[in-house]
Amino acid sequence: MSIQFFSPRGADGRNMRIPSAYRRSVKWLPQIGDIFPNFAVDTTQGALDLWDWSAGSWTFLFSHPAASTPVCTTELGAISGNKDDFNALGVKALGLTGSTVQEQLDWHKEIEAFFDTEVWFPTAADPEGRLAALFGMRHDEEHKTWPIRKSFILDPQMRT
């Protein structure tokens, strides 16, 4: 049995059919207003418990596939270069990737040298893809463990 939770419409306003190969199911997919689950993870800045770390701040949680990839490098460089804006808005940033902490730390040095900016936010290691799978940040057709690019904005009460 397949359930389609939304019905996309084409330019003519008629329902579009989605190939069954494009449909997928996840154990939990955050919706607006849901409380985001707490988790503990190793990051480039040490062990992190999401709720304790966020503690009353807005949080930008984003995922990317892996360290040392060209697009991911420019994304981290851009976020790093906007530290003052994040601070002014009271927003913390946390990245999630399939790379190990050491791979990320080595990569951050390259980003800092190339973009002349500090990678000021932690990035979390999820090499088995468990968190990425739980949060709907993985696409099995792309990679079985690495996350895709997906972001969540969490309010100070940890709601999406």
Catalytic residues: 72
Question: Residue 140's CB: how many other CB atoms inside 10 A?
Answer: 10
Task: Say how far apart CA 5 and CA 139 lie, in whole Å.
Answer: 18
Tokens of 154: 């969490």
Question: Residue 20's CB: how many other CB atoms inside 10 A?
Answer: 9
> 91 burial class (0-12, 13-18, 19+ CB within 10 angstroms)?
middle
Task: Say how far apart CA 63 and CA 8 lie, in whole Å.
Answer: 25
